Structure 1
């Protein structure tokens, strides 16, 4: 009961000195609200940049340089790593091309062919090719051909046999069309088996699955000149590059762009904590001075409380609770002011949907509230230590 009684007395006294209480609240708001805006900008800007990079598979893509010769088991082992989101072998780029045509007599379009499989970051949410004849077209290729999902498509593949140019044709089914943001070049995505079949045909070999004639293929393991590889997260790109370099596989990554965003985050963190330390130091000093002034101003009232049996700890708790009242009201008011500022900042500076110039999550508000209450309590405890010197006899003299 004693803490509740002290809290009630502290509230009544806090209300009685409403003007002074309002001043202490506004003094804290002047510190807390700008810090919330600063942290909101830091979290919003860097968070949006990081989320944008994370959403863009091209940033997490790791592209091998020319001259690489890899076995299928090496690429399969890559795909099993925890830091790899997707890995699939690629055939030679010069062989991974096709001429597409909607119907005889229509215009032809040369496109590159890319292997795909379950888990492809570029095809998230789209149907996956299940047979050799099923493909997914890029937006630019579908737009140039004037084709929609579900339509048939004629694909031609040529090879030079001696002095004779030979062609084979097959009908493809377009399962889906990629969004333009996912892939901007003219391309089709198909099973790796189709790309391997086209490569074999252009190497002069027969492709039994498609009925294409040619020489009989040897049983030697297939060697791949590259792969499509995507890291699971932004932080996995550089470790993967280092691992592949140790395996004598030279690659190109977006590590420099990722490092710039991470450096910006670290620098903003340092700036935020520097400003926060200075601001909170001033707030603690102001709250301590306020508690010290309250002890001087309320010596008679505090002496009467001691006379009624309240010890030094109870009197100190009285001051701490009043500081907590100020911290609580200041936190709520600062959060409301920040919400207004957040709406204005995002309205002025954000153009792309899903991005934020300023943003705080619910847990950020809770952390800020806990930090303000803790700082207020410590400051009041430091400034109110003189309450232990108040003697009950002063209360008797003033009765």
Structure 2
């Protein structure tokens, strides 16, 4: 279109106007981009650090209570629940562990687990003879993946201890599970509890005072994982109401971090809104004054037959070009400032975490918002162009 070509030529001929408006954009956008990037980077780093520990999503019933499968089964279908497993009584969830060929014994906590447990890495499966151990236990007993091990009960009053042979399916990293612990299917813990309850275990050559077939399964508690941090508090409250027991979870820490994220977003949103008002006003007056300064030129263009609606595009085209240049320069300025900030302050973040972070989707959203703001303020100047009376303007000029 003719008017687009004329607007572009005029903009680059009058470079001072372009440079001033671009400088205004860069001066406002670079600090905002840096603040937004730091907020995203720091909050994401803290969030990922919390999510790296699966216990952040865990809810445990406190103390020893008695539940049946009928009590636990409905919980598995609740929305927001990622994993549920029953627990045995706390006095029976410790065993001695040793490497099959070793002599050193180490007391370890037995934790019920299974498919879907966030603590287990993808692809790792458990079985009665394939268990997962913590890095602390593996380090103490010199265990590695595939190594054979033995679980030995601690009942001093029994003539024979229960010894279970198994293999290390995986060694968890330190951040996934601290201390000395073994993850096993609930059936393994249930078997150990039956031993402590003096039931006969003929498959293991142990005679007890009660036949195993008379045993009625009872759970000493449950361990539940939420799918997302945002669902932890609500799930904990619902679980306490459903089971009528107290629970343990990192709800306060999680809510504190989520609250920090919300407050930072609110503060940044308020800052961005105020900056947008100032930026829109500054550029709006700039485009308006430029149109007023070029009334004679625009009136001449109107006289050659260009309609008012097309003339309205004159300041809008110039605003779009100014916006594109401002966005490119602002992004370059943000990248430079981000690298400087990373070198100065990035050492306090977890390894590999970026101090500033803006995703491609957020970048596109920022760009669209800036262009929309410029089009709106330039459209006001364009509206004034439509009201130009060429004859009147040219008489005033002559």
Is 1:116 aligned to 2:113, yes or no? yes
Is 1:196 aligned to 2:193, yes or no? no
How big is each residue's C-alpha offset from its partner over 1:232-265, in whole Å with a ceiling of 9 and x where there is no partner? 1111111111111212122111111111112112
Counterpart CA distance in 1 for 2:185 and 2:285 is: 73
Is 1:298 aligned to 2:294, yes or no? yes
The alpha carbon displacement at 1:220 in A equals 5.2
Q: Is the 1:158–1:165 Cα contact (8 Å) retained in structure 2?
A: no
Is 1:280 aligned to 2:276, yes or no? yes
- Which residue, out of 43, 67, 82, partners 1:85? 82
TM-score by length of 1: 0.92
Q: How does 1:144-183 map to 2 (within 5 A)?
A: 144-161=140-157, 166-183=160-177
In the superposition, relative to structure 1, how do residues 90 and 30 fare at CA in structure 2: closer, same or farther (>3 Å)?
A: same
Instruction: Name the structure 1 match of 2:205.
Output: 211
Is 1:226 aligned to 2:221, yes or no? yes
Counterpart CA distance in 2 for 1:237 and 1:251 is: 12
Counterpart CA distance in 1 for 2:212 and 2:178 is: 35
Instruction: Name the structure 1 match of 2:249.
Output: 253
- Which residue, out of 310, 316, 337, partners 2:333? 337
The alpha carbon displacement at 1:126 in A equals 5.4
Counterpart CA distance in 1 for 2:30 and 2:149 is: 60
In the superposition, relative to structure 1, how do residues 249 and 281 fare at CA in structure 2: closer, same or farther (>3 Å)?
A: same
Counterpart CA distance in 2 for 1:380 and 1:16 is: 19
Counterpart CA distance in 2 for 1:280 and 1:158 is: 69
Counterpart CA distance in 2 for 1:389 and 1:123 is: 70
Counterpart CA distance in 2 for 1:104 and 1:320 is: 80
In the superposition, relative to structure 1, how do residues 47 and 147 fare at CA in structure 2: closer, same or farther (>3 Å)?
A: closer
The alpha carbon displacement at 1:73 in A equals 3.0
Q: Is the 1:138–1:186 Cα contact (8 Å) retained in structure 2?
A: yes
Counterpart CA distance in 1 for 2:258 and 2:169 is: 38
| 1:122 partner SS | coil
| 1:158 partner SS | coil
Instruction: Name the structure 1 match of 2:28.
Output: 31
| 1:359 partner SS | coil
Q: Root-mean-square deviation (CA), in Å? A: 2.1
The alpha carbon displacement at 1:230 in A equals 0.8
Instruction: Name the structure 1 match of 2:375.
Output: 377
How big is each residue's C-alpha offset from its partner over 1:28-75, in whole Å with a ceiling of 9 and x where there is no partner? 111111111111122222222223323321111001111422112322
Q: Is the 1:335–1:365 Cα contact (8 Å) retained in structure 2?
A: no
Deviates more, 1:79-88 or 1:338-347: 338-347
In the superposition, relative to structure 1, how do residues 397 and 308 fare at CA in structure 2: closer, same or farther (>3 Å)?
A: farther
Deviates more, 1:330-339 or 1:52-61: 52-61
Is 1:101 aligned to 2:98, yes or no? yes
How big is each residue's C-alpha offset from its partner over 1:329-366, in whole Å with a ceiling of 9 and x where there is no partner? 10111111112222333344334245232100111111
Is 1:239 aligned to 2:223, yes or no? no
Q: Is the 1:307–1:396 Cα contact (8 Å) retained in structure 2?
A: no
TM-score by length of 2: 0.92
Counterpart CA distance in 1 for 2:101 and 2:203 is: 24
Q: How many residue pairs align between the two structures?
A: 393
Counterpart CA distance in 2 for 1:358 and 1:88 is: 39
Q: Is the 1:136–1:177 Cα contact (8 Å) retained in structure 2?
A: yes
Instruction: Name the structure 1 match of 2:308.
Output: 312
Q: Is the 1:126–1:176 Cα contact (8 Å) retained in structure 2?
A: no
Instruction: Name the structure 2 match of 1:9.
Output: 6
| 1:100 partner SS | strand
